């Protein structure tokens, strides 16, 4: 949904509040399930200022440990969007991924800074860096390391309320058996007033199977229904 948020921010000419509520068949982030392949309820509330600043809070049900219980992830974010002429725009944003609940999800918390360059609110190039992503080094020991990702995506109208999207990305974090993996997606969307329907095919490279321990990354179809307000 980052492309949706950036596109709306770039188009905003006056201050506005907004958000959405969504139900997805699987919360997938960078090609890996965050819910053990189970559905997730998600929501976002944000504010765009007329001068380009944006702030918001995004939340979702999540299960960072596939063997654990369902938790809640809350991601506050702050950013700045600037138009570069009539066709280009850019955004720089900082986000903190926080986990709340009764399970030991707090050890998964990390911060991230992401820069996005957009063309006509259709093509998006994003580079993100996290200075404190957790890496498990033993049964009950872990360290914090730098992680980075790059994403290139396209979202365009097909007419008659239909849209298409396609994207590829790469995530890098040095782990014992793999230092990174690639992922991608292709999907179709349908707009019905404030409701958006999406069906996407998620794919990952072979290295993703070595990167994750419990089969979190795999090829699958994901369906989402979203209501904007």
Domains belonging to the chain, first-starting first, are 2-228 (2.40.160.40)
Question: Which residue's structure tokens are 């239909």?
Answer: 162
* pTM of the complete model: 0.88
Proportion of the chain in helix, strand, coil states, percent, rounded to 5: 10, 65, 30
Closest CA to 20 of 222, 216, 212, 193: 193
Q: How many residues does the chain have?
A: 229
Task: Copy the structure tokens of residue 134.
Answer: 């957790």
Q: What is the mean pLDDT of the chain?
A: 89
Check residues 188 and 177 and name the one with the higher pLDDT: 188
Q: Is the pLDDT of residue 2 over 60?
A: no
pLDDT-derived band at 108 (thresholds 50, 70, 90) equals confident
pLDDT-derived band at 14 (thresholds 50, 70, 90) equals low
Q: Is the pLDDT of residue 1 over 90?
A: no
Question: Which residue's structure tokens are 């944003």?
Answer: 93
Mean per-residue pLDDT, 21-42: 96
Mean per-residue pLDDT, 43-63: 95
pLDDT-derived band at 117 (thresholds 50, 70, 90) equals very high
Lowest-confidence pick of 1-15, 132-146, 159-173, 202-216 = 1-15
Asked if residue 187 lies in contact with residue 163, where contact means CB atoms within 8 angstroms, the answer is no
What pLDDT was estimated at residue 174?
A: 80
What pLDDT was estimated at residue 7?
A: 52
Task: Copy the structure tokens of residue 172.
Answer: 């890098």
Asked if residue 150 lies in contact with residue 170, where contact means CB atoms within 8 angstroms, the answer is yes
Q: What one-character DSSP code corresponds to residue 172?
A: E
Distances (CA, A) of 117 to 46, 89, 145: 20, 6, 26
């Amino acid at each position: 949904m980052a492309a949706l948020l950036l596109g709306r921010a770039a188009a905003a000419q006056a201050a506005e509040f907004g958000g959405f509520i969504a139900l997805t068949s699987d919360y997938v982030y960078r090609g890996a399930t965050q819910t053990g392949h189970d559905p997730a309820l998600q929501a976002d509330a944000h504010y765009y200022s007329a001068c380009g600043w944006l702030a918001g809070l995004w939340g979702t049900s999540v299960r960072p440990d596939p063997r654990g219980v369902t938790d809640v992830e809350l991601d506050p974010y702050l950013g700045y969007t600037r138009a570069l002429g009539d066709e280009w725009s850019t955004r720089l944003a900082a986000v903190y991924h926080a986990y709340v609940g009764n399970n030991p999800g707090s050890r998964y918390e990390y911060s991230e800074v992401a820069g996005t360059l957009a063309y006509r609110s259709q093509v998006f190039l994003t580079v993100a860096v996290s200075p404190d992503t957790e890496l498990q080094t033993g049964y009950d020991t872990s360290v914090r390391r730098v992680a980075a990702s790059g994403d290139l995506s396209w979202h365009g109208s097909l007419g008659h309320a239909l849209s298409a999207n396609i994207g590829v990305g790469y995530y890098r974090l040095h782990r014992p058996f793999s230092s990174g993996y690639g992922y991608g997606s292709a999907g179709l969307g349908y707009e019905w007033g404030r409701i958006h329907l999406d069906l996407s095919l998620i794919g990952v490279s072979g290295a993703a199977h070595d990167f994750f321990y419990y089969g979190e990354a795999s090829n699958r179809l994901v369906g989402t229904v979203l209501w904007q307000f």
